Amino acid sequence: MRLYNTATRKLDELPAPPGPIRMYFCGPTVYQRIHVGNARPFIVSMWLKRWLEHQGYDVTLVENITDINDKIYAAAPGNSAQFAADASEWYIEDTGDLGLGRPDHEPKATETVPEIVALIEELIQLDLAYPAGGDVYFRVDRYPEYGVLSGRLDEDSARNPSEEEEQSSLKESPRDFALWKGHKEGEDTSWESPWGAGRPGWHIECSAMAEKHLGPVFEIHGGGLDLVFPHHENEIAQSRGAGREFAQLWMHNGILRFGGEKMSKSLGNVITLRDALGEWGPETLLMLFLGAHWRKPMDYTDETLAAAKARADGLREVFRNPSEPGGSWGELAAALDDDFNTPEALAVMHDWRDHDLLRRGLELFGLGSLAEQEEAPAELDELAQRRATARADGDFHEADRLRKEIEAGGWEVRDVAGDSGYRLVPKA
């Protein structure tokens, strides 16, 4: 299997099964209900985990929850810890409703502070970091590989853009970024450290959580495309700087656009995952994501959602008709093993009429429910039997009346070859 690697800018081959494949994906910062765009790394990583496991890999997926962050203090002044705990629960609940299962580990930054502090101490000893006025900063000039992942190799393009840190006069260089932030007025949580009370910076949280659960080297690191710089560049500098091999392959999923722009809270064009699930249901949402290649941008519009719903309905319809042999699992595997091409996999499945094959394919993506047909109520089935008898007797007037009665009950009757001569399907 091969996947596009941001670090090498080409398709790289994964080791042969059983691997192991250890994966770390950056999860959400919990300061609101997550929006549909935030769900993309979760969906892509869970699908990939399911596919790799199906292929015989030993997979460990870690997806963190960032529950210490500036945005959380801003969202819930004076109540940040409780708010972050609640928002973590919302995230688990909303992504749980997608029906894809959960990552193997979902560590929180608040549970990882001792490991974070230890890693910062190591970096200070290596002269890669320096304390300054209660903060600790990473000394970018001491890490010559800085900027290689993102291609931002010169000083100006590699300035670390955090507003708060930009204003800090404590930094030796604008490229430096905070590993530890001293406690500030108005922040209602803080942790003890050798540099005084404070809290970790966002980037070091991920370096420490990945190592804690996966060890010093792992196969895949993923996250949204907007995390390449500075977040992932900084993770690399911290972990490789401290002598860890860290991630081998970097996967960055494309953004989700809404109203032509990236869906983001700062732009104010946000649909929460919860609202999207309420309006469209998990099948349509998953079908929308399935139809887009993970690396490409995708659009969340009424049109793309209607098209996704039509695709789901089309596949559901296959199970209402007799199963026909044809198609091969190998076509699906070829699409997924080639850079996890889910739109191609979907196109392959659309041609399948073999119920078993199609059900197995859909189950990979959490869409097995499309194969589950509702049973018609017994009284409607009785009407359908009477209709079949009426037809056999040549009483087409009565047969037509019974058909309408069945339709009034929300079902339609179809004439098919076979024992009963009919099949009941829910009315579209």
Task: Give the residues lining the site for Zn ion (CB under 5 A).
Answer: 26, 206
Phi, psi of 346, deg, nearest 5: -65, -40
Nearer to Zn ion (CB atom), residue 232 or residue 387: 232
Q: Give, as one character, the DSSP assignment of residue 133.
A: T
Q: What's the closest the beta carbon of residue 230 comes to Zn ion, in angstroms?
A: 11
Nearer to Zn ion (CB atom), residue 225 or residue 388: 225
Nearer to Zn ion (CB atom), residue 88 or residue 284: 88
Peptide bond into 161 cis (omega under 30): no
Nearer to Zn ion (CB atom), residue 206 or residue 315: 206
d(CA 105, CA 335): 28
> Distances from the Cα of 34 to the Cαs of 13, 21, 26, 252, 289, in angstroms?
33, 27, 13, 18, 16
> Distances from the Cα of 323 to the Cαs of 189, 353, 378, 415, in angstroms?
60, 6, 24, 16
Q: What's the closest the beta carbon of residue 120 comes to Zn ion, in angstroms?
A: 16
d(CA 222, CA 244): 18
Nearer to Zn ion (CB atom), residue 95 or residue 284: 95
Q: What's the closest the beta carbon of residue 24 comes to Zn ion, in angstroms?
A: 8
**Burial of residue 301 (number of CB atoms within 10 Å: 0-12, 13-18, 19+):** middle
Nearer to Zn ion (CB atom), residue 224 or residue 361: 224
Q: What's the closest the beta carbon of residue 200 comes to Zn ion, in angstroms?
A: 12
Residue 143 half-sphere exposure toward CB, CA atoms < 13 A? 31
Q: Cβ neighbours of residue 93 under 8 Å, at least 6 residues apart?
A: none
Q: What's the closest the beta carbon of residue 329 comes to Zn ion, in angstroms?
A: 35
CB 66 within 8 A of CB 27: yes
Measure the N-to-C terminal CA separation of the chain; round to a whole number of Å.
39
d(CA 317, CA 371): 9
Closest among 94, 89, 98, 173 to 129, alpha carbons compared = 173
Nearer to Zn ion (CB atom), residue 235 or residue 283: 235
Q: What's the closest the beta carbon of residue 261 comes to Zn ion, in angstroms?
A: 23
d(CA 164, CA 109): 20
Nearer to Zn ion (CB atom), residue 228 or residue 413: 228
Q: What's the closest the beta carbon of residue 241 comes to Zn ion, in angstroms?
A: 16
d(CA 92, CA 24): 17
Nearer to Zn ion (CB atom), residue 193 or residue 239: 239
Q: What's the closest the beta carbon of residue 225 comes to Zn ion, in angstroms?
A: 13
Q: What's the closest the beta carbon of residue 231 comes to Zn ion, in angstroms?
A: 6
